[in-house]
Amino acid sequence: MQSLIRRLRSELFATPADAVISIALFTILAAAAAGFLHWALRQAEWAVVQVNSTLFAVGRYPIEQQWRLWLLTTLLAAATGATWGMLRAHPRRDRSGQLWPRNDRLAVAVLIAASLWVPFALGLTPAIQLRWWLLTALLVAARWLAGRFGAGLPPALKRLLPIVWPVLYLVGMVLIGGGIGLARVAPAEWGGLLLTLLASSFAILLCLPIGVLLALGRRSDLPLLRWGSVLYIEFIRGAPLITLLFLGQNILGFLLPGGLAPDRVWRAAWVLTFFAAAYLAEAVRSGLAAVPRGQLEAARSLGLSSAQALRLVVLPQALRVALPAMVGQFISLLQDTTLLSLIGLLDLLGVARSVMANPAFLGKNAEVYLTLAILFWCCCAALGLGSRALERRLDPHAVPSRV
Amino acid sequence: MSSPRTATSPRRCCRRLLAALGVGLLVAGCRPEAVGPQSPTIARIRQRGRLICAVDGAVPGFSTVASSGRYEGIDADFCRAVAAALLGDPEKVDFRPVTPAERFVALNSGEVDLLSISSTHTLSRDAAGGNALSFGPTFFHDGQGVMVPAASGVRRLADLAGKPICVESGTNTELNLADRMRELGLPYQPLRFQSGEQAYPAYEQGRCAAITSDRSLLAGKRTGFRNPSAHVLLPELLSKEPSAKVTVQGDPVWADAIRWITYALFQAEESGLTRATVAARVAEARARPEQAELRRLLGVEGDLGRQLGLPNDFVVRVVKAVGSYGELFDRHVGPATPLALDRGPNRLWTRGGLHFAPPFR
């Protein structure tokens, strides 16, 4: 307590001028916070979010098929918990080796608090609230089990574990879209957060390999490959995303005979992918440029083939350097998905526009936009946190940290 | 579902001809009026079993997504009426939210069968040298209006002389306002805003004496104000914005079907048919042969529907599905709804409005 007061004094009230500035700033901040809280707790009518929570979450996904999304969420929760636990059970250089470091305990506490409070605040039925509690319990349990027993698993099984995620992605696609015995749910009926996450995860996953190939192509010695990549990258970077989205939506319908053109949701997802790939290629290229030439030469002189040298020596270093830029790209890609609402898709923003136009909720724009901002912030923060953790894990010079 | 196609004998004649000659083109030689009109769009819809109907999805009272995920509003219900007439089930509609910017492209590329979006019928959109579209009868008579605070004492456009007026920049709205004020010789200060999101709060905060936009839009925005009843719409219209349902120009049979489904909604109101009473009226028409007009309308006698490529009882199906135009209006935008729009020119011609259906015969 004493040290806190001393720190406050030295940092905020060192001189009279400092004190005046601090007090003025604090007053402004307090007034803004008070005004906001007054609005949020007294004036705002949150019914618009409560009543439409399903719409925000999954759009017009048919209610009788929503069990598939619950199943997918369950699988995701289990996989997340297991992966988390496994990572802790296999500490790397950057880790203190603790099974439950402070940040993890904090994360679990936040998670539990959120799963208790959010469904309650949204006024969901007790049955659905219970489902969210169980999902959180499952995640934490998987985290605990994997952390406790993960280290003792046979190595063959451990090697299989990373495959869980790609498999889960494919399973998720089937669960969402149908097929293999499940009723088909047309992409036109996907919406809300589901569509936003689906489109952005699809684009993020696919733009990475395409972007790496483009970056390599741009540095290639083969003129055709080099100029092809340059042309592609510069063309995409020279056109606004919305133009490309409109092109994808409207021109494909003319070019391909009816029925052959992919669904509009997929068209948009592909456009996002190709768009992000061009920007990602430049991020990867900056990473490639940061790897000294000597690395490649040393690898070659050790007898590695070009492809091996690239795969084992150059790319790992380049991608590590490019990681912050790439994650920035992914985050902006996630936010770019809001443009889907401009081409008439019911992504998070599209649903919000429609909800705000509903005669029953006219004029509740602030509530809806704030909800959207929070949702987007959560998604982007998750991406950012994940990338920071990845950076630390990949950093060869990291010192073991306490947290 | 009664078969919308014609009696089997001419078809069989067709088949035999086809089988004998093996030439599909000869269908035309086989009394086309008996086979029923041919429309690529209708054939496509029947084959698909669903109507793909473009709506805006974010226009209060016209098309929005309800909390249940269901599309609601006048425009959405029109899609249901068409699906009911054509496929016998008002729920066999795939709603396709389309933005104003891409609606005509979506239609012309065949992505959607029908635009049920507020689209103003203009010459250049209709003409073959322009957008080359086919417009149905005016479904909703809108117009640019002006909204003022009730307490301001402004009762006519002329009262706004010299006062600031909020308007969205770069729109027809801005042009219409400038034209009209110049015509009246009134000076005014336009306060231009990039979008409605900025213009309406500015108006509500009193930065301008009035705000101008389409009347239905003004009424919609007004419900979001802190005190909606403190704002009134001026009686003058700055422009006429008749919005109609749009189909491709290359399919006149389909356009006719849409035209007469729209008229069916008007005629239903004129004939006093409602969702609740239509079944009783059909029974009445069946029982009383002297009511020839009603019998034709309801498809009890004659083949009016068939001539359009629709089932004979398409009017009954439409009214059963969504009700008459009056019911549609009252349900979604009328005085009992938050939008509280006045029927105005959207009344029937018998009540001083502009909605008029030609005779069903």
* Shortest alpha-carbon distance between residue A203 and chain B (Å): 23
Q: In this complex, do B57 and A246 lie within 8 Å of one another by their Cβ atoms?
A: no
Torsion of CA A279, A281, A287, A290, to 10 degrees: -100
- b/e A23-43 (16+ beta carbons within 10 angstroms → b): eeeeeeeeeeeeeeeeeeeee
Contact B136, B254 (CB under 8 A): no
CA A93, A98, A100 angle in degrees (round to 5)? 130
| Phi, psi of A399, deg, nearest 5 | -100, 150
Alpha-carbon torsion (B37, B43, B46, B51), positive or negative: negative
| Distance (Å, whole) CA A133 – CA A251 | 46
| Distance (Å, whole) CA A129 – CA A123 | 9
Environment class of A189 (CB within 10 Å of its CB; exposed 0-12, middle 13-18, buried 19+): buried
Contact A49, A122 (CB under 8 A): yes
- Nearest Cβ partner of B224 from A186, A350, A362? A362
Tell me A341's DSSP state: G
| Chain A residue whose CA is closest to B108 | A254
What pLDDT is stored for residue A196 in this prediction? 92
What pLDDT is stored for residue A264 in this prediction? 82
Q: Which residues of B touch A60 (CB under 8 A)?
A: 65, 69-70
What pLDDT is stored for residue B222 in this prediction? 83
* Shortest alpha-carbon distance between residue B214 and chain A (Å): 15
ipTM: 0.78
Diameter of chain B measured on Cα atoms: 81
What pLDDT is stored for residue A401 in this prediction? 52
- Nearest Cβ partner of A346 from B97, B197, B332? B97
Write out the two tokens for B342.
Answer: 């006045």
* Shortest alpha-carbon distance between residue A258 and chain B (Å): 7
Contact B35, B10 (CB under 8 A): yes
A277: confidence class by pLDDT, cuts 50, 70, 90: very high
Q: Which residues of B touch A360 (CB under 8 A)?
A: 338
The answer to whether residue B332 neighbours chain A at the CB level (below 8 Å) is: yes
pLDDT tens track for A223-266: 899 999 999 999 999 999 988 888 887 777 667 665 566 788 88
pTM of the entire predicted model: 0.81
Q: In this complex, do A250 and B109 lie within 8 Å of one another by their Cβ atoms?
A: yes
The answer to whether residue A364 neighbours chain B at the CB level (below 8 Å) is: yes
pLDDT tens track for A19-47: 899 899 999 999 999 999 998 888 888 88
pLDDT tens track for A179-222: 787 888 888 888 889 999 999 999 999 999 999 999 999 988 89
Q: Which residue has the higher pLDDT, A140 or A251?
A: A140
What pLDDT is stored for residue B204 in this prediction? 86
**Mean of the per-residue pLDDT values of chain A:** 86
What pLDDT is stored for residue A400 in this prediction? 55
**Helix or strand or coil: residue B247?**
strand
Q: In this complex, do A359 and B223 lie within 8 Å of one another by their Cβ atoms?
A: yes
- b/e A220-240 (16+ beta carbons within 10 angstroms → b): eeeeebeeebeebbeebeeee
Q: Decide which of 3.50.50.60, 3.40.1360.10, 3.30.420.10, 3.40.190.10 is the CATH code for B38-141+242-351.
A: 3.40.190.10
DSSP assignments along B215-242, one per residue: HHHHHHHHTTSSSGGGEEE-S--SEEEE
| Distance (Å, whole) CA B257 – CA B87 | 13
The answer to whether residue B99 neighbours chain A at the CB level (below 8 Å) is: yes
Q: Within chain B, which residues score under 70 in pLDDT?
A: 1-36, 197
What pLDDT is stored for residue A93 in this prediction? 53
What pLDDT is stored for residue A94 in this prediction? 53
The answer to whether residue A354 neighbours chain B at the CB level (below 8 Å) is: yes
Contact B114, B261 (CB under 8 A): no
DSSP assignments along A114-137, one per residue: HHHHHHHHTT--HHHHHHHHHHHH
Give residues 224 to 253 of B whose Cβ lies within 8 Å of A.
Answer: 224-225
pLDDT tens track for A49-76: 888 888 898 888 888 888 889 999 999 9
Secondary structure of chain A: what % helix, strand, coil (to 5)?
80, 0, 20
Q: Which amino acid is at B111?
A: E
Residue with tokens 């056109």: A239
Other CB atoms within 10 Å distance of the CB of residue A351: 31
| Chain B residue whose CA is closest to A347 | B97
Q: In this complex, do B69 and A358 lie within 8 Å of one another by their Cβ atoms?
A: no
Mean pLDDT for A73-87 is: 88
| Chain A residue whose CA is closest to B59 | A357
Share of chain A above pLDDT 90, in %: 30
Instruction: Give CATH for domain B142-241.
Output: 3.40.190.10
Contact A56, A49 (CB under 8 A): yes
| Distance (Å, whole) CA B114 – CA B54 | 6
Q: Which amino acid is at A83?
A: T
Q: Which residues of A touch B197 (CB under 8 A)?
A: 365
The answer to whether residue B105 neighbours chain A at the CB level (below 8 Å) is: yes
B38-141+242-351 and B142-241 share one fold: yes
Residue with tokens 């994650």: A327
Domain range summary for chain B, segments of one domain joined by +: 1-36, 38-141+242-351, 142-241
* Shortest alpha-carbon distance between residue A22 and chain B (Å): 32
- Nearest Cβ partner of A344 from B59, B94, B99? B99
What pLDDT is stored for residue A262 in this prediction? 74
**Helix or strand or coil: residue A9?**
helix
What pLDDT is stored for residue B35 in this prediction? 52
Residue to test with chain A: of B48, B53, B55, B64, most A Cβ within 10 A: B64
Q: In this complex, do A354 and B97 lie within 8 Å of one another by their Cβ atoms?
A: yes
Give residues 67 to 96 of A whose Cβ lies within 8 Å of B.
Answer: none
| Chain B residue whose CA is closest to A49 | B67
What pLDDT is stored for residue B2 in this prediction? 40
A96: confidence class by pLDDT, cuts 50, 70, 90: low
HSE of A48, CA atoms in CB hemisphere, 13 A: 26
**Helix or strand or coil: residue A256?**
coil
Q: In this complex, do B65 and A63 lie within 8 Å of one another by their Cβ atoms?
A: no
Write out the two tokens for B305.
Answer: 């529907």
Contact A175, A182 (CB under 8 A): yes
